[in-house]
Amino acid sequence: LYIIYSQDNRKVSHPPEVCLEGSGVTVVKKDKAPLMLVDEKKILANRLLVEKAGAKNVTLYWYKAGQQYTDNYLVQQLRVAANQLRFKPASSALIRVSADVRADDADQTYRKLQEFVKDSSRYFEEIMP
């Protein structure tokens, strides 16, 4: 679990593919994935299947702008900027979870990450007000 958070700086994060590909990781597949938070709130995340030196990994990530979640980096940036212009709280965050794929079963890894997100999301508002 990675949470990159700033109370007032929208420039603290960028799409994880930038760093992953820069470190030699190959993005094998990218799509959207539904997630359920502990309060039964549904969000959409970006799902990556990545590979490096034969090892596979599933990574899920999404953004937060103020109290709203989004899977889109540009939407997050626009929401934070709009909040700043209206003198409202302008916090921003990138939330990313990842796990190695075992027994070449990326779907099982995704299901485990879904469970982890739901369980850990109870702390999101405390960590990212």
Q: What was the pLDDT predicted at 13?
A: 83
The pTM of the full predicted model, rounded to 2 decimals, is: 0.92
Q: Would the pLDDT of 46 be above 90? A: yes
Q: Please, are residues 125 and 96 in contact by the beta-carbon 8 Å criterion? A: no
Q: Please, are residues 69 and 91 in contact by the beta-carbon 8 Å criterion? A: no
Listed residue (31, 13, 1, 2) closest to 91, CA to CA: 13
CA distance 62 to 39: 17
Listed residue (29, 61, 58) closest to 45, CA to CA: 61
Q: Tokens for 6? A: 């700033």
Q: Would the pLDDT of 23 be above 80? A: yes
